[in-house]
Structure 1
Amino acid sequence: MKKRELGKSGIYVSELSLGCMSLPHDEQEGKNIIDAAIHAGINFFDTADLYSNGRNESVVGTALKGRRDEIILSTKVGNRRIPGEEGWRWDPSKSYIMEAVKDSLLRLGTDYIDLYQLHGGTMEDEVDETIDAFETLKKEGIIRQYGISSIRPTVIQRFLSDSSAVAVMMQYSMLDRRPEEYFSLIANYGASLLTRGTLAKGLLTTEGLQRLNETKGFGAYELEALKETVTAIHSLTDDIHTAAIKFNLAQPIVASTVIGASTTEQLLDSINANDKEIDPYTYKSIESLLKVHQYDQHRLN
């Protein structure tokens, strides 16, 4: 599988990567999926301390035991669980990050993290303190690089302008092109894009037409426009899964498109789709159907 560099970090990640949030809690089932991913050439695995109250990191750590040198490992921080309270609180403070990373390392069964991402962000954050935490961890060798996972352009721009972040994770797909407005900004700061939501909750797979009956809209698409667009894409290709992946990877700023899977079969579907190509004429025909929306909130202008 081809690899691309994360920013200018010297870290090369597979074009298709595994988003681990959907992994089953059963450690053997999770290991089977991760083993299949590594066998196919996937080397980038993304999780977060938020997922399943940390259980997801433990499943990933168990599955990767003995194979740490084969992979690039990413996790996220910023959502803090308070004992005795429901849910999580947002906490991007240096003190919390410096403690949370220890717990993530323990669950993941490793002594370093390749990419540590801020899992969100607001304009009210003390961003200098947050960045100082990441820079300190980097100097100590606990993390190799860091980035941010957010869909807020204002938050992303401020974080990139004040840091040496190499990656931005954003929801991006044929049905959500809002990030495109800020591709040049991200590139100018020397960062790469990691895309999530590539398959648009299954709308951009062979099950897409059926899934239309289960949704009220997607992104900036209201239901009728969504139905029209997804139906039209399906009419142009019998391999919409491949088209969805190749659409993201056609963007030079994209280092990897992060695909989730809760079963080995789901993962193999994406791997097989990535191995195929889509002819240029069909690609252009599909692209002409797609609307380019913009974010309504958190804008830079």
Structure 2
Amino acid sequence: MKKRQLGTSDLYVSELGLGCMSLGTDATKAQEIIEAALEAGINYFDTADLYDFGTNEQIVGQALHHVRDKVIIATKAGNRLNDSKDSWSWDPSKNYIKEAVKASLSRLGTDYIDLYQLHGGTIDDPIDETIEAFEELKKEGLIRFYGISSIRPNVIREYVNNSNLVSVMVQYSLLDRRPEEEVLPLLEKNGIGAVTRGPLAKGILSEKMLEKATKKGYLDYQLEELQKTIPLLREKLFDARSMTEISLQYNLAHSAVSSVIAGASSVKQVKENAKAVEAEPLSEGEISIIKAITKMSLYEQHR
């Protein structure tokens, strides 16, 4: 599988990364999925301390222990678990991040994290303090690089302008093209890698398509709009391509994107996603058709 440089870092990530949130808590099954990812050429694994209240990090760390020097492990912090570990609150403070990284390192069974990310954030956060925490962790050798996971353009802009982050994880798909207007151009201009999540729009853009749609629709698409848009995409583009292929290749077609993160709850899904990423890139004509059929929305509430 092809690899792309993550921003200005020396991390070269596979074009498809494995989103580990959907692995579940069965360590044996998770190990099978991760092994399938490794066999497919995936070297980028994304987890977070919040997933299954830390259990996900433990499972991922154990499964990758034998190939630790060959893979890129990304995790996230900022969601502080309460004492009973059944809920959490937002805490991007320097003290908490420096405390959280040690817990993540322990659960992952490693002495360094390749990419440490802030798991959200608002414009009212103590951003300077958060950046200080990341910079100190780099100097201490506990993390190699840092980034943020956010869909808030104003927050992203603050980190781009005031920190040395190398990546921004952002939701992006055929049904969520909001990053194209503000976020992706900003990242590309500043040499920061975009890592995209949600490329299959909760399964609506997978082979199951409208089976996964709910009465609420998806973002600013009403269900009736989806019932028109998805079949039209299929009619115009589907010759030999699957919907998964079109969806993942659309993300990778943007030059700001370093890797697209897709979850998988089975070995079959890993193989399908890997096959889709290794397919022929979309042509300019196909991209034009997609843009003509889908919406170009803007960020409104999430600033």
TM-score range, shorter chain: over 0.9
Q: CA contact under 8 A between 1:3 and 1:13: conserved in structure 2?
A: yes
- Asked if 1:74 corresponds to 2:74, the answer is yes
Match of 2:295 in 1: 291
The residue aligned with 2:203 is: 202
Conserved? CA contact 1:18–1:261, under 8 Å: yes
Q: Which residue of 2 aligns with 1:38?
A: 38
* Alignment-derived partner of residue 193 in structure 2: 192
Q: What's 1:216 paired with? A: 216
Give how far 1:188 is off.
2.5
Q: CA deviation at 1:283?
A: 4.2
Task: State the alpha-carbon separation in 1 of the partners of residues 56 and 215 from structure 2.
Answer: 27
TM-score, L = length of structure 1: 0.95
> How far did 1:3 drift?
0.6
Report the counterpart of residue 115 of structure 1 in structure 2. Answer: 115
Distance apart, 1:278 and its partner CA: 5.7
Three-state SS of the structure 2 residue aligned to 1:64 is helix
Partner of 2:272: 269
Look up the match of 1:248.
251
Q: CA deviation at 1:209?
A: 2.7
Aligned structure 1 segments of 4 or more residues deviating by more than 3 angstroms: 281-284
CA positional deviation for 1:273: 1.6
- The more displaced of 196-205 and 231-240 is 231-240
Check whether the contact 2:200–2:244 (CA below 8 A) recurs between aligned residues: yes
Q: In 1, Cα distance between the equivalents of 2:148 and 2:287?
A: 30
- Residue 171 of structure 2 aligns with an amino acid whose one-letter code is Q
Query: Structure 1 vs Structure 2: percent identity of aligned residues?
Result: 51
What are the residue-to-residue correspondences of 1:58-207 with 2, within 5 Å? Answer: 58-84=58-84, 86-182=86-182, 183-207=184-208
Q: How far apart, CA to CA, are the structure 2 residues paired with 1:242 and 1:163?
A: 35
* Distance in 2 separating the partners of 1:276 and 1:110: 34
Superposition deviation, residue 97 in structure 1: 0.7
Please give the alpha-carbon distance, in whole angstroms, between the structure 1 residues aligned to 2:297 and 2:226.
Answer: 13
Aligned equivalents of 2:135 and 2:39: distance in 1?
34
Structure 2 distance, partners of 1:275, 1:11, is 20
Query: Which amino acid is 1:205 matched to?
Result: S
Q: Is the 8 A contact 2:53 2:85 kept in 1?
A: no
Whether the 8 Å CA contact 1:242–1:278 is kept in 2: the answer is no
CA distance in 1, matches of 2:93, 2:200: 33
Offset at residue 152 of structure 1 (A): 0.7
Partner amino acid for 1:286?
I
- CA contact under 8 A between 2:172 and 2:197: conserved in structure 1? yes
How many residue pairs get aligned? The number is 298
Which segment drifts farther, 62-71 or 181-190? Answer: 181-190
Runs (5+) with no aligned partner, structure 1: none
Q: Distance in 2 between matches of 1:278 and 1:158?
A: 33
Higher mean C-alpha deviation, range 150-159 or range 84-93: 84-93
Q: What is the alpha-carbon distance in structure 2 between the residues aligned to residue 190 and residue 148 of structure 1? A: 15
Change in 2 beyond 3 A, CA 1:31/1:231: same
Structural RMSD (CA): 1.4
Residue 259 of structure 1 is aligned with which of 244, 257, 262?
Answer: 262
User: Is the contact made by 2:17 and 2:260 (CA closer than 8 Å) also made in structure 1?
Assistant: yes
Please say if residues 45 and 74 of structure 2, whose CA atoms lie closer than 8 Å, have aligned partners that are also in contact: yes
SS at match of 1:217: coil
Cα distance in 2 for residues equivalent to 1:215 and 1:110: 44
Query: CA separation of 1:84/1:35 partners in 2, compared to 1, >3 Å: closer, same or farther?
Result: closer
Residues 1:2 and 2:36 are matched in the alignment: no
